[in-house]
């Protein structure tokens, strides 16, 4: 279940459990540092190589605490009366145009809005109204009619109309835009023809009147609403976007949204500034604005936090600092912890020996002690999963436990003709010390049942090229929810085409058919039941993957930061609309 935790994590039992992690992590950070120059306890799952910006230097004069229970006195560096939130970013943004970027969403989530949003309600992630105050869906699941609010104003003073929605969708599918997120609207009738240059507009989108938009799909698509809540589906103003041309998403003065903040300044390799939109339709934010500061070095992030120059540091993306903050009792009330709607898992290639044999795949799964890995490498900072559908994602269910049974594993190997053992190759990216650490533990565990493991490290280009061709052997992977629907986890990996490009080469014609059927189902209960059937077939019956565990997402905030919540999906990039600062003297 997704946690909508208060700004301070009050679960002392979990905090104490996290402290057990420190002694291992301190040693592990050193060991991983020797391997690759840095420590990593949580994997960065981005697959695109990004060149970081130049390091930002700490300008504070404070001295960082070196450990123990004393917290360095943080002194805010903001000007008197200023109410700006300061957060770090390890990488520079190529653009804040969500149609042209697939990775950096902290700015888009704060300057744009979408027709609907995914928010945590009573501990459950749900689709809620946003720019669309309501919607109707036809009985056949093909036609969605959205009724827009009449009180939304863009940053340039233009009122939101149905034409802006039509324009936004058409711009994405216009081949001249060279958009990278076209999958977001690909299910709309006529979208492919528009993208292929065979039509002048997207046939399935129409403005019925100033505040009513009708979207018609090619075929029913159950996850459609959840898909519309993703950053890629942010709604743009036609006038502002057309006037900005190729500077939209780059020039702060020309990049217009309707969100709670608006872009003010952007100094490359330094900082990007957003200021409050006083005319926001949900009510003005409590912050004056947000500064996103380029700080590629994680130790510098810690120093700046302790100097009061950073208000929030996401430790799940600044993982080398986890040991420091988790091991210092002075920070135990500054940790915000929530689950990530995603998990780690091993992928088996069914076109390569010995994992082409179901008995071998099941034997490998039974020979890996997942709980020991979670406890020793992550101090139980999460929980085991037995499904591709992690907690917090629509359709998650109580799947049958995958047992740890070395004796049973040996019996299955013997039955498969490997009574005298076999050899197995596990592949990983070179610059991934976390994957290497887990792979080495698995290597040792599998040796106990007669499987000799070779770990092969590959550079990113070779790794993804091999994977796309379906030729990458067993590998550890991870996936976080893009949108709140089981389709995001199952269709992504197990359709016939995706099974190849993800290098699992899963062969199950029933699963292929069921995945297409599930997308077209209108009845939500029937659709979820089918997804659970698909998941059981993939994980339990075919052992196409071995789910490992679902991690906690850990963020450290200053004492004065109030109402910060971990995102429903555990992303680092979040909306800061609800956050406020309560500093002494202000």
pLDDT digits (tens, 9 = 90+) for 157-208: 999 999 999 999 999 999 999 999 999 999 999 999 999 999 999 999 999 9
Global confidence as pTM: 0.80
Residue 243: per-residue pLDDT: 98
Amino acid 5: pLDDT? 35
Q: From the CB of residue 452, how many other CB atoms can be counted at a distance below 10 Å?
A: 12
| pLDDT at position 378 | 80
Lowest mean pLDDT among 55-64, 330-339, 473-482: 55-64
129 backbone φψ class: left, alpha, beta (φ>0; ψ -120 to 50): beta
pLDDT at 42 over 60: no
Supply the angle between the helices 12-36 and 433-447 in degrees, to the nearest 10.
100
The pLDDT of residue 70 is above 70? no
Cα–Cα separations (whole angstroms), residue 350 to 277, 394, 442, 491, 497 = 53, 28, 19, 18, 14
Query: Model confidence at 339, in pLDDT bands (50, 70, 90)?
Result: confident
Q: What percent of the chain has pLDDT over 70?
A: 85
Going 412 to 416 to 417 to 422, the CA torsion angle's sign is negative
- Please tell me the predicted confidence (pLDDT) of residue 71: 56
Bigger pLDDT: 522 or 354?
354
Query: Helix 433-447 crosses helix 358-367 at what angle (to 10 degrees)?
Result: 100
Q: pLDDT band at 124, cuts 50/70/90? A: confident
For range 291-309, the mean pLDDT: 95
What is the per-residue pLDDT across 548-577, written as a single tens digit (0 to 9) for each? 999 889 999 999 999 999 999 989 999 999
Residues 458-462, mean pLDDT to the nearest whole number: 95
- The helix/strand/coil state of 222 is coil
Per-residue pLDDT, averaged over 80-96, amounts to 86
Instruction: Transcribe 547-566 into DSSP letters.
Output: E-EEEEEEEEE-TTEES---
Task: Give the pLDDT mean for 66-73.
Answer: 47
- Whether the predicted pLDDT of 134 surpasses 70: yes
Rg (CA), the chain: 24
Phi–psi pair at 141, nearest 5 degrees: 75, 15
Give the tokens for residue 390.
């992690």
Helices (DSSP H) in 144-213: which residue ranges? 162-173, 191-195
Looking at residue 69, what is its pLDDT? 52
571 and 230 Cβ atoms separated by less than 8 Å: no
Task: Specify whether the CB–CB gap between 116 and 581 falls below 8 A.
Answer: no
What value, to the nearest 5°, has the Cα angle with vertex 562 and ends 560 and 268? 75
Above 80 in pLDDT, residue 82? no
Percent of the chain surpassing pLDDT 90: 76
Q: Which of 144, 111, 420 is nearest to 274 (CA)?
A: 111
Q: Which pLDDT belongs to residue 586?
A: 53
Separation CA 255–CA 350 (nearest Å): 47
Residue 10 reports pLDDT greater than 50 = no
- pLDDT-derived band at 48 (thresholds 50, 70, 90) equals very low
CB 101 within 8 A of CB 95: yes
Average pLDDT along the chain: 87
CA distance 346 to 547: 6
* Predicted pLDDT of residue 189: 98
């Amino acid at each position: 279940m997704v946690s909508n935790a208060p700004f301070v994590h009050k679960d002392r039992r979990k905090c104490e459990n996290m402290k057990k992690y420190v002694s291992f992590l301190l040693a592990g950070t050193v060991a991983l540092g020797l391997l690759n120059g840095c420590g990593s306890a949580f994997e960065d799952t981005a697959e695109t190589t990004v060149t970081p910006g130049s390091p930002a230097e700490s300008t504070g004069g404070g001295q960082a605490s070196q450990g123990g229970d004393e917290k360095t006195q943080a002194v805010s560096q903001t000007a008197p009366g200023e109410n700006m939130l300061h957060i770090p970013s390890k990488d520079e943004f190529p653009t804040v145009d969500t149609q042209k970027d697939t990775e950096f969403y902290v700015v888009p989530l704060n300057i744009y809005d979408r027709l609907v949003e995914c928010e945590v309600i009573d501990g459950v992630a749900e689709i809620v109204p946003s720019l669309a105050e309501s919607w109707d869906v036809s009985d056949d699941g093909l036609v969605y009619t959205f009724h827009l609010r009449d009180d939304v104003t863009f940053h340039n003073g233009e009122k939101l109309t149905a034409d802006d929605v039509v324009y936004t969708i058409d711009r994405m599918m216009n081949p001249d835009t060279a958009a990278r997120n076209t999958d977001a609207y690909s299910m709309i009738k006529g979208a492919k023809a528009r993208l292929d240059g065979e039509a002048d507009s997207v046939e399935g989108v129409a403005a019925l009147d100033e505040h009513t938009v009708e979207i018609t799909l090619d075929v029913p698509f159950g996850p459609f609403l959840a898909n519309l809540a993703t950053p890629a589906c942010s709604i743009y103003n036609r006038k502002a976007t057309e006037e900005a041309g190729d500077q939209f998403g780059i020039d702060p003065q020309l990049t217009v949204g309707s969100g709670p903040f608006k872009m003010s300044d952007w100094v490359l390799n330094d900082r990007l500034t957003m200021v409050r939109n006083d005319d926001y339709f949900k009510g003005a934010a409590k912050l004056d604005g947000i500064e996103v500061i380029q700080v590629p070095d994680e130790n510098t992030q810690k120093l700046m936090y302790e100097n009061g120059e950073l208000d929030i540091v996401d430790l799940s993306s600044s993982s080398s600092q986890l040991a420091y903050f988790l091991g210092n009792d002075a920070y135990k009330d500054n940790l915000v912890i929530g689950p990530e709607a995603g998990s780690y898992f091993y992928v088996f290639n069914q076109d390569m020996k010995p994992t082409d044999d179901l008995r071998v795949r099941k034997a490998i799964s039974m020979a890996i002690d997942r709980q020991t890995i979670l406890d020793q490498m992550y101090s139980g900072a999460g929980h085991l999963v037995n499904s591709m559908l992690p907690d917090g994602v629509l359709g998650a269910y109580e799947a049958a436990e995958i047992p740890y049974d070395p004796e049973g594993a040996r019996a299955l190997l013997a039955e498969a003709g490997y009574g005298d053992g076999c050899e197995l190759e596990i592949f990983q990216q070179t610059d991934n010390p976390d994957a290497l650490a887990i792979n080495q533990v698995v290597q040792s565990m599998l040796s106990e049942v007669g499987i000799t493991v070779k770990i092969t490290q590959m550079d990113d280009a070779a790794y993804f090229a091999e994977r796309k061709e379906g030729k990458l052997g067993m590998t550890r992977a991870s996936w976080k929810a893009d949108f709140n629907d089981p389709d995001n986890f199952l269709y992504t990996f197990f359709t016939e085409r995706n099974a190849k490009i993800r290098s699992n080469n899963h062969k199950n014609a029933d699963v292929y058919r069921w995945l297409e059927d599930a997308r077209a189902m209108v009845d939500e209960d029937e659709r979820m039941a089918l997804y659970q059937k698909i998941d059981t077939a993939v994980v339990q019956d075919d052992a196409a993957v071995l789910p490992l565990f679902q991690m906690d997402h850990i963020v450290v905030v200053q004492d004065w930061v109030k109402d910060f919540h971990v995102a429903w999906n555990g992303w680092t990039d979040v909306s800061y609309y609800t956050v406020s600062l309560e500093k002494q003297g202000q």
